[in-house]
């Protein structure tokens, strides 16, 4: 295979498992995350186990301009990216009016700005090459507003809309764009979000590995939108036929159970 995948947010959770899946297929990797120590540990493991090349970049993508810094570094290293996987993301629970603006701003920068900028930079290269794959990790949260996580839900709605539009724009260029929309998953993000909720703790959730395998397969097949799990597929489809006021009220009730 020997295709190089750039994966953001690859020090844990779904991004971490996506790196493993790609390595198992014989592909080289560029791993980007704030925690370079964790990335270097993963680099050593994957290189020894799969005889591939892994390049790591410690970068906080919530900082303005960081996406271009990643791109420029890889240009200097003469590393061509064949697959771009934008997994890095963050969320927080609480009423918007009571939240810290700095935290919301970082969320927007990470979930939207850096994702969009990396996509713009690498999509241009892929069009020149006549091939490439992009996967943006959205969420089932993409399909409805989310009171008490207003900005997070809105950023994921952006990721879904953006990805679907790009899929249409580049489908005749040998490039595919996939939006992966998982529901609640066993991951560091999930643990932080539900740490005080016994009901949610007791639920059997899909593993990050399961979601990574599902998403990677969907990306390779060139699917536009990938929603793991029949229940999630039914939920996200049914939302379209319900009154918006009902959807928002239902989302508020579900979110309040996470406090």
pLDDT of residue 192: 44
Domains of the chain: 4-256 (3.40.50.720)
pLDDT surpassing 60 at residue 103: yes
pLDDT at 34 over 70: yes
Better-predicted residue by pLDDT, 248 or 22:
22
Lowest mean per-residue pLDDT among 81-85, 134-138, 178-182, 235-239? 235-239
With 80 as the cut, is the pLDDT of residue 21 above it? yes
Asked if pLDDT for residue 27 goes beyond 50, the answer is yes
Q: Using 50, 70 and 90 to split pLDDT, how confident is the model at 214? A: very high
pLDDT at 194 exceeding the cut of 90: no
What is the predicted pLDDT for the residue at 198?
46
The average pLDDT across 42-46 equals 97
pLDDT value at 190 more than 50: no
For the chain, the DSSP string reads ---EEEEESTTSHHHHHHHHHHHHTT-EEEEEES-HHHHHHHHHHHHHHH---EEEEE--TTSTTHHHHHHHHHHHTTPPPSEEEE-------S-GGGS-HHHHHHHHIIIIIIHHHHHHHHHHHHHHHT-EEEEEE--GGGGS--TTSHHHHHHHHHHHHHHHHHHHHHTTTTEEEEEE---S-BSHHHHHHHTT-HHHHHS---BHHHHHHHHHHHHHHT-SEE--SHHHHHHHHHGGGS-HHHHHHHHHHHHHTT-
Q: Give the pLDDT mean for 81-90.
A: 97
pLDDT of residue 66: 98
pTM for this entry? 0.89
């Amino acid at each position: 295979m020997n295709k190089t995948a750039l994966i953001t947010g690859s020090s844990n959770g779904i991004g971490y498992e996506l790196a493993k899946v790609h390595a198992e297929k014989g592909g080289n990797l560029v791993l980007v995350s704030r925690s370079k120590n964790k990335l270097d540990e993963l680099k050593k493991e994957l290189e020894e186990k799969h005889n591939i090349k892994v390049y790591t970049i410690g970068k906080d993508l919530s900082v303005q301009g960081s996406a271009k810094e990643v791109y420029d570094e890889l240009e200097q290293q003469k590393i061509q990216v064949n697959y771009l996987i934008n997994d890095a993301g963050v969320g927080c629970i609480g009423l918007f009016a009571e939240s810290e603006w700095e935290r919301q701003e970082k969320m927007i920068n990470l979930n939207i700005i850096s994702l969009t900028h990396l996509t713009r930079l690498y999509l241009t290269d892929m069009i020149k090459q006549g091939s490439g794959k992009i996967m943006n990790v959205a969420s089932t949260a993409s399909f409805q507003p989310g009171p008490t996580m207003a900005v997070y839900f809105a950023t994921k709605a952006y990721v879904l809309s953006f990805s679907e539009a790009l899929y249409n724009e580049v489908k005749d260029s040998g490039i595919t764009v996939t939006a992966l929309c998982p529901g609640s998953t066993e991951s560091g993000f999930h643990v932080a979000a539900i740490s005080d909720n016994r009901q949610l703790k007791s639920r059997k959730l899909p593993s990050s590995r399961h979601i990574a395998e599902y998403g990677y397969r969907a990306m390779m097949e060139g699917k536009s939108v990938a929603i793991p799990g029949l229940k999630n597929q039914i939920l996200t489809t049914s939302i379209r036929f319900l009154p918006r006021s009902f959807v928002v009220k239902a989302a508020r009730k579900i979110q309040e159970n996470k406090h």
